[in-house]
Amino acid sequence: MTKVDLHIYIQFNNKPFINPQSLALLRKIIDTGSLNTAAKELDISYQNAWKMIDNMNKTAPKPIVMKQRGGTGGGGAVLSDYGLLLMKEYAYIELQVLKFTQQLNNEINL
């Protein structure tokens, strides 16, 4: 069956800082509280994961992920207040895009 699929990007001053891959990484960081564990679960290197986060933090209007020091398992990673707001808005965007895509697919005949 032929279907339209829409991929969500969020950009600041025309530069994307959220794409489907970085969004998956943010969700894993929320789940695990650790960039290291998040990277392992997504099967990417810690270095690549950190590059994605660093790029995201620098491109977004405000930093999204903050490193945390200490604790028994070493440093963790948490979302900033802006990061949490972003995830809330993203959930809304995702729902609207899902509804719109379903409607669009009902109109398409390919």
Q: How far apart are CA 15 and CA 55, in angstroms?
A: 11
Residue 69 CB neighbours (<10 A): 7
Q: Which stretch binds a second copy (CB under 8 A): 7-15, 35-43, 46-54, 72-80?
A: 7-15
* Least distance (Å) between residue 87 CB and a second copy: 11
The residue to which tokens 């950190």 are assigned: 50
Q: How far apart are CA 106 and CA 73, in angstroms?
A: 50
* Least distance (Å) between residue 107 CB and a second copy: 8
Q: Does 108 bind a second copy (CB under 8 A)?
A: yes
Q: How far apart are CA 110 and CA 105, in angstroms?
A: 10
Q: Which stretch binds a second copy (CB under 8 A): 9-17, 24-32, 49-57, 67-75?
A: 9-17
Q: Does 89 bind a second copy (CB under 8 A)?
A: yes
Q: Is 66 in a helix, a strand, or coil? A: strand
Q: List contacts with a second copy (CB under 8 A).
A: 1-13, 16, 61, 85-86, 89, 92-93, 96-97, 100, 104, 107-110
